[in-house]
Amino acid sequence: MSGNTFGKIFRITTHGESHGPVIGVVVDGVPAGMPLSEADVQRELDRRRPGQSIVTTPRAEKDKVEISSGVFEGKTLGTPICMFVRNVDVDSKPYEAIKAKPRPGHADLAYWLKFGHIDHRGGGRGAARETVGRVAAGAIAKKLLAAHGVEILGHTIEAAGVAVEREVSPEEIRKNVENNPMRCADPKVAEEMKRRVLEASAKGDSTGGVVELIALNVPPGLGDPVFEKLDAEIAHALMSIGSVKGVEIGIGFKAARMFGSEVNDQLRLKGDKIIGDTNNSGGILGGISTGMPIVARIVVKPTPSITKPQKTVDVVRMKEAELKLEGRFDPNICPRIVPVAESMLALVLADHMLRAGKISPNRFKGFK
Amino acid sequence: MSGNTFGKIFRITTHGESHGPVIGVVVDGVPAGMPLSEADVQRELDRRRPGQSIVTTPRAEKDKVEISSGVFEGKTLGTPICMFVRNVDVDSKPYEAIKAKPRPGHADLAYWLKFGHIDHRGGGRGAARETVGRVAAGAIAKKLLAAHGVEILGHTIEAAGVAVEREVSPEEIRKNVENNPMRCADPKVAEEMKRRVLEASAKGDSTGGVVELIALNVPPGLGDPVFEKLDAEIAHALMSIGSVKGVEIGIGFKAARMFGSEVNDQLRLKGDKIIGDTNNSGGILGGISTGMPIVARIVVKPTPSITKPQKTVDVVRMKEAELKLEGRFDPNICPRIVPVAESMLALVLADHMLRAGKISPNRFKGFK
Amino acid sequence: MSGNTFGKIFRITTHGESHGPVIGVVVDGVPAGMPLSEADVQRELDRRRPGQSIVTTPRAEKDKVEISSGVFEGKTLGTPICMFVRNVDVDSKPYEAIKAKPRPGHADLAYWLKFGHIDHRGGGRGAARETVGRVAAGAIAKKLLAAHGVEILGHTIEAAGVAVEREVSPEEIRKNVENNPMRCADPKVAEEMKRRVLEASAKGDSTGGVVELIALNVPPGLGDPVFEKLDAEIAHALMSIGSVKGVEIGIGFKAARMFGSEVNDQLRLKGDKIIGDTNNSGGILGGISTGMPIVARIVVKPTPSITKPQKTVDVVRMKEAELKLEGRFDPNICPRIVPVAESMLALVLADHMLRAGKISPNRFKGFK
Amino acid sequence: MSGNTFGKIFRITTHGESHGPVIGVVVDGVPAGMPLSEADVQRELDRRRPGQSIVTTPRAEKDKVEISSGVFEGKTLGTPICMFVRNVDVDSKPYEAIKAKPRPGHADLAYWLKFGHIDHRGGGRGAARETVGRVAAGAIAKKLLAAHGVEILGHTIEAAGVAVEREVSPEEIRKNVENNPMRCADPKVAEEMKRRVLEASAKGDSTGGVVELIALNVPPGLGDPVFEKLDAEIAHALMSIGSVKGVEIGIGFKAARMFGSEVNDQLRLKGDKIIGDTNNSGGILGGISTGMPIVARIVVKPTPSITKPQKTVDVVRMKEAELKLEGRFDPNICPRIVPVAESMLALVLADHMLRAGKISPNRFKGFK
């Protein structure tokens, strides 16, 4: 496997298995002189952490980040930033029993077919825990972007069949998302989502949903035709998150049932800026940012770990078998995917800001 | 712009503007000794060509391919294969008048903001014509895959609001797709699609749709966790096609409203192979192919070129303006996107077959 | 084979075999708005062309370049620039006889072992003709660099055992190099070089030499520790030229016999710039440019094609054989390698200028 | 800075500053199922460690490696292998005094010009300590290569003006190199080298030398024309090591003064293998391995840290200054560069073995 590196200038390499000693990331391409502390990263990791609420798994990961390189006297050095989190509350025992039985909906079978083994200790690199490195790196990307005026927002817009039917404002997202366990911008809808999520969970089942990502104040001109289009790289980044089965930009799949005259964003002036009357393009045309907000949505499949009995195949004995998972799992992963997806969007944008010369590659803004 | 190269081992570089002298591609990473002729490539280019039918633009591109390197005495040399098509039926005059007026829904504005100019001659690299290189390269990828048992299928499953509501078989796709202008596997639905597409077109408007891609007989084990997941790279590849605003794998966006017990493909034995009762995963779990058919879908927005009057901004005078496009445009691009999307899927799979050691990198199967 | 692309932002892909229809290159990453004509490129190709003088092979390649994309109305578009040269004066007949007999010192045997065939038509991609694409791309890189003040010089400092023993000035290089067939900056030494080169040639043998490359006015700060060091990428670029068996930077191999106190460039002020008393570092320390001239040297082995009888193995019959090459070959390739090596240095520097933000990626200096 | 990743399939990312908390590396692309222990890596790190002998710096780094991911129950998982070493015996105090004074011959000035700061704590990423990550990764590459029959050897062939004038056999290298402080294959020459090294050291000066690398039993066919030639990537890898100012392959710089008839390796049969009478090509022709031993040499400049007074510029006050380094430094780094250079060669070869399909990418040889 050699696919653990992502990005061209702002480039991350993640490592670590779910139940190994540590999980971590090396972040390369951060300009020198940017203020950075472990607290900056911890804040984002705490948002990803399980056990935050009733709808997330209660594994009590502390996930305390340590920065072991690239920062000196509170500022980045321009050298690679290595961060890691020790895996503490690890108990691989429940997995022993199912060692030879790939869990439906999980990567187990595919890993076994590829590598000849299943890292039964909680899924290894296929486990959600792998995203710790992404979120730590994303925290740095976000901070770098923020210093250049770019803001990243994420929120759950649908879960367990309950959707936010109206458009919510950035203000609502900023204000409400961290105040309910679903990370939904509409507190009332959040209540209903939670109710349905727990209802399914009580029956040993899980639910999915849709998460929306928004990037505000992105300068126009990011994205390189034709294969390094901004939307293509965003799709790559978001689809690389486990459990994501689809990505759409702007109007997305709705475009299939609309007319050109409806989808085309009509252009007009707002001061000296050219903007669209609408933002069906999601801030990207021809793979290049237009200056309008970037809008992407991902569909998150229901958590594959459920306690209902399932059918599998014992890969050692090569015979069909039943599987009954024990333990408590995230009944819905949307809220925990929010910071992961925000991170991936931030990574792509930071990389493209650097590629387009909007962020200076060697020295942080104002640093001499 | 430096994003014209795609792939890691099987790697293509496309070039050429819509109204420049030629449009072409260099294909690197093809093993030596594979039989290859211009006819192999021409067949696919003819499927992409405009003017094929009533629902495609009548620009009479001949699109005759010439192979200028990498093939000798009917066999690949293992050296890069350069192919190009001369742009003949080129008339840039209609574009002169709209030189300073970015067309809504097109890349014009974004290119202008990035590069400081609009290649008004038919959109330059932002035009659909850029896909000639992709399809030529895709023809080679498909041939290489076919020699290793992998088949790629594509078909329109929704257009202008008309959808194929049932699952169609590979046989139907193979049999019907080239026999109707919509490239729809169900001839009756195709009729209705065409009717609605032409209806909108008659009103100066355009329509969108959904195209489905299927790869049969893909070996398990393709895809590298965690950022080079097979589905992530497929999403990248497909989203890099102009007009595509969303990508989904397997069950896709439907997963948002389902339960885990419904989405998880239950495993069973079929002979000595482990298969799923269903294929909601679309043949990919944890970013790795499972051996089940790979299924991806893309949403294609309505052709942005419409003859209805639109609002734009004259970027030279910086004042609002009206835009009335003259000419005849594809009323619906789904049928022409089918071979392009098939090509992108083939490119990703050929690359991953090479990365996973399923295709030998230097010498074509059986070649000595 | 998939190694025909070079560079990260300024990125080239070459293609074409020695005796195929064309030889060419796609240059990606050139900012939009740079004035560029075929004449700019032709000038450099003419310097590479054989048949220029008595010490080069008389193959009368016209090597007329055609630009088929990326330039419009005399300016770059920011899209990939495709250039090619048709192979005209091609005669593969002399090669027929030696089809199964790898030529000692050539790539023939290695290609055969790798790809299962020898492109006997003049060596295919292993032939010196492959460098046409490099030089065409280099011409663009040089022009872009020149617009940002960077000048690239190349000259032969040793050939056939005759060396320039003194340091020559940039002025001498500029003035003399194009005025003698050896591309030597010292006209008297050039005479002696030529004499010895022809002497060996008359005996059916060939000679080698050393070429020096200098880049003037390179800004400090280019090069990325630790694996993308400027000198590491220069070494890569120069060693990728056929016949080059060694690369050194600054003091180079002489450093083995010197003391630290001699090699360390002592620092002092010159105005507000920090410079070295000497330039043993060759303008690069820790892989990063210091602002001093960049100096690299390459050793060029004697042309492997010689008319003296040689020992080989017939790879079809697998028996030892004698080989007697017919025809006229470059008795010494140093002069023709000068523009190729200059090009490779220019490509690395242009790429690093872009990476370091010293060249703006999207719009050419002053272009709006 | 974003250049801390190297390799395409077998890919490493190093991190950590000389005086930061840890120094480490992430190794990606190792097949699953290879036996690997910390002892395997420690052995190589001990060869790199300072304080081994009288000719190396006495900094008592323990350099105890910890593997924190990618290995489970004594076998590789196919996931990225993260290894690190804690920096213990770190004393940054001596560097405080010279904070603003770039040391001649060091990266200090270049880093300051690029990043706006000098990591005065022992040179940061510019320090030799950065190579810990390379050697740890190299240990894995060597083990993987060894399992496929490839052996890597390194030895000092010249130091302080004393050279091994004769060719030494692989047996001599294996037997003698670890038995003398110079890592020289000829014990008598080693004695003389040591004498001269210490003589210069006693005068507050340092010396350089030449290190030779040999790879035995490399299969033919590695290397991708034209920019990913095996020798080009070896040159890149070796030149990326601090203090290396030149690289040569096979006959190297000597080729400048030889005739083609002398340099061309005449071919003959040895059993069913085609070999050269000589190995002037150093096992690589046209950038592709031929099956003969791969031979490369690097020149190592004298250690830039010397105790003799030197001239520098105080970059804060911008005035000329004298610099007198205190402490004890490696009088000659050749012996410690041997394992680093071996590692870099091993990394390139492991990567190319994977690219050429000579090593299976997912599962270690014989692992199921």
Residues of chain C in contact with residue A79, where contact means CB-CB under 8 angstroms, are 225
Beta bridge partners of C313: C320
Least confident span in B124-128, D287-291, D311-315: B124-128
C323 or C88: which leads in pLDDT: C323
Cis peptide before B315 (omega within 30 of 0): no
Per the listing, tokens 């000693």 go with A21
Q: Model confidence at C112, in pLDDT bands (50, 70, 90)?
A: very high
Interface list for A 118-147 with B (CB within 8 A): 125-126, 130
Q: What is the spatial distance between Cα B330 and Cα A279, in angstroms, rounded to a whole number? A: 23
D221 has a chain B CB within 8 A of its CB: yes
The residue among D24, D29, D25, D36 whose CA lies nearest residue D7 is D29
Q: What are phi and psi of C115, to 5 degrees?
A: -100, -10
Mean pLDDT of all residues belonging to chain C = 93
Residues of A in contact with C356 (CB under 8 A): 361-362
| Res. C194: pLDDT tops 70 | yes
Cβ-in-10-Å burial (0-12, 13-18, 19+) of D196 comes to middle
B162-163 and B151-159 beta bridge pairing = antiparallel
* DSSP code at position B93: H
Residue B288 to residues B352, C182, D78, Cα–Cα distance (Å): 10, 57, 13
Mean pLDDT of C187-193: 98
Name the minimum distance, in Å, from the CA of D24 to any CA of chain A.
Answer: 9
DSSP C138-178: HHHHHHHHHHTT-EEEEEEEEETTEE--SPPPHHHHHHHGG
Which chain D residues are Cβ-neighbours of A9 within 8 angstroms?
A: 2
Give chain A positions within 8 Å (CB) of C361: 355-357
Indicate left, alpha or beta for A252 from its phi (over 0: left) and psi (-120 to 50: alpha). left
Say yes or no for a CB contact (<8 Å) between B313 and A106: no
CA-to-CA distance for C172 and C187, rounded, in angstroms?
10
CA distance C328 to C46: 20
* Position C98 confidence tier, pLDDT thresholds 50, 70, 90: confident
What is the longest distance spanned by two Cα atoms in chain B?
71
| Coil, helix or strand at residue B72 | strand
Quote the Cα angle for C129-C133-C138, to 5°: 125
Average pLDDT over residues A82-95: 82
C21 vs B contacts (CB less than 8 Å): 68-69
Q: Pseudo-torsion of CA C182, C185, C189, C195, nearest 10°?
A: 10
| C363 in reach of chain A (CB within 8 A) | no
Q: Is C58 on the interface with A (CB under 8 A)?
A: no
| Contact residues, chain C, for A221 at CB < 8 Å | 362
Cα(D75)–Cα(A139) distance, integer angstroms: 33
For position D60, what pLDDT does the model report? 57
Check CB contact under 8 Å for B114 and C78: yes
Burial D38-66 (b: 16+ CB within 10 A, else e): bebbbebbebbbbebeebbbebebebebe
CA distances for B281 relative to B8, B231, B294, D265, angstroms: 25, 10, 8, 56
Structural contact between residues C171 and C186, judged by C-beta atoms closer than 8 angstroms:
no
Residue range D211-217: mean pLDDT, rounded: 98
What per-residue string of b and e applies to C102-139 under the rule 16 or more CB within 10 Å gives b?
bbbbbbbbbbbbbbbbbbbbbbbbbbbbbbbbbbbbbb
pLDDT score, position B122: 63
Q: Indicate the residue of C221, C225, C361 with minimum beta-carbon distance to A357.
A: C361
Containing B262, the helix (H) or strand (E) segment is: helix B260-263
The reply to whether D2 touches chain C by the CB within 8 Å rule is yes
Q: What residue in C sits closest to D277 (Cα-Cα)?
A: C311
What is the 3 state secondary structure string of chain A? CCECEECCCCEEEEECCCCCCEEEEEEECCCECCECCHHHHHHHHHHHCCCCCCCCCCCCCCCCEEECCCEECCEECCCCEEEEEECCCCCCHHHHCCCCCCCCCCCHHHHHHHHCCCCCCCCHHHCHHHHHHHHHHHHHHHHHHHHCCCEEEEEEEEECCEECCCCCCHHHHHHHHHHCCCCECCHHHHHHHHHHHHHHHHCCCCECEEEEEEEECCCCCCCECECECHHHHHHHHHHCCCCEEEEEECCHHHHHHCEHHHHCCCEEEECCEEEECCCCCCCEECCEECCCCEEEEEEECCCCCCCCCEEEEECCCCEEEEECCCCCCCCCCHHHHHHHHHHHHHHHHHHHHHHCCCCCCCECCCCC
Average pLDDT over residues D209-214: 98
CA distance D126 to chain A (A): 10
Other chains touching B, judged by 3 or more CB pairs under 8 Å = A, C, D
Question: CB–CB of B239 and A226 under 8 A?
Answer: no
pLDDT at D91: 72
Q: Do D362 and A84 touch (CB under 8 A)?
A: no
- Among C16, C28, C368, select the one facing B2 at the smallest CB separation: C28
Is the domain spanning B5-355 CATH 3.40.50.10490? The answer is: no
Per-residue pLDDT band for D368 (boundaries 50, 70, 90) equals: low
Do residues B249 and B282 touch, judged by C-beta distance below 8 A? yes
D354: closest CA of chain A, how far (Å): 11
pLDDT higher than threshold 80 for residue A322? yes
pLDDT digits (tens, 9 = 90+) for C21-71: 999 999 999 999 999 999 999 999 999 887 777 776 655 557 899 999 999
| Model pLDDT for residues A268-304, shown as the tens digit of each residue | 999 999 999 999 999 999 999 999 999 999 999 999 9
CB contact under 8 A, B357 and D356: no
Q: Residues of D with CB below 8 A from A5's CB?
A: 5, 11, 13, 28
Rounded Cα gap, residues B236 and D155, in angstroms: 47
Q: Which of A96-105, A246-255, C216-225, D198-207 has the lowest mean pLDDT?
A: A96-105
Using DSSP's 3-state secondary structure scheme, residue B3 falls into: strand
| Strand, helix or coil for residue D16 | coil
Q: Which residues of C touch D232 (CB under 8 A)?
A: 235-237, 239-240
At B326 the pLDDT is 86
CA distance B4 to chain D (A): 18
Query: Quick one: what percent of chain C has pLDDT higher than 70?
Result: 95
Give the minimum alpha-carbon distance from C183 to chain D in angstroms, rounded to a whole number: 16
CA-to-CA separations, C287 to A362, A363, C121, D8, D362, in angstroms, rounded: 15, 17, 40, 21, 34
Within 8 A of D221 by CB-CB distance, chain B residues are 362
Which residues from chain A sit within 8 angstroms of residue B23, using beta carbons?
none
Helix (H) or strand (E) holding B81: strand B81-86
Residue C365 pLDDT grade (very low, low, confident, very high; cuts 50, 70, 90):
confident
- What distance in Å separates residue B168's CA from the closest CA in chain C? 38
- At residue D29, the 3 state secondary structure works out as coil
Look at residue C340 and give its three-state secondary structure. helix
Let me know: does C109 contact C319? Beta carbons within 8 Å.
Answer: no
Domain ranges of chain D: 5-355
Minimal C-alpha gap between C362 and chain A (Å): 7
Q: D129 Cβ partners below 8 Å, 6+ apart?
A: D16, D18, D23, D61, D87, D122, D123
Cross-chain CB nearest to C115 (options B5, B32, B81):
B32
**How many C-beta atoms lie closer than 10 Å to residue A7's C-beta?**
25
Query: CA–CA separation, A58 vs C95, rounded Å?
Result: 74
Strand partners, A300: A209, A244
Q: What is the ipTM of this complex?
A: 0.97
Q: Which residues make Cβ contacts (< 8 Å) with residue C46, sequence separation at least 6? A: C52, C63
- For residue D13, count CB atoms less than 10 angstroms from its CB and return exposed for 0-12, middle for 13-18, buried for 19 or more: buried
Report yes or no: A9 at the B interface, CB cutoff 8 Å: no
pLDDT at res. D123: 67
Average pLDDT of the residues of chain D: 93
* Order of strands across the sheet that contains A294-300: A162-163, A151-159, A209-216, A294-300, A244-249, B244-249, B294-300, B209-216, B151-159, B162-163
Q: How far apart are CA D27 and CA D138, in angstroms?
A: 9
pLDDT digits (tens, 9 = 90+) for A73-84: 999 999 999 999
The answer to whether the CB of A296 falls within 8 A of the CB of A233 is no
pLDDT of chain B, 368 residues: tens digit per residue = 579 999 999 999 999 998 889 999 999 999 999 999 999 999 999 998 876 776 766 555 578 999 999 999 999 999 999 999 998 867 777 777 778 899 999 999 999 999 987 666 666 788 889 999 999 999 999 999 999 999 999 999 999 999 999 999 999 999 999 999 999 999 999 999 999 999 999 999 999 999 999 999 999 999 999 999 999 999 999 999 999 999 999 999 999 999 999 999 999 999 999 999 999 999 999 999 999 999 999 999 999 999 999 999 999 999 999 999 988 789 999 999 999 999 999 999 999 999 999 999 999 987 66
Query: Band of the pLDDT at A57, cuts 50, 70, 90?
Result: low
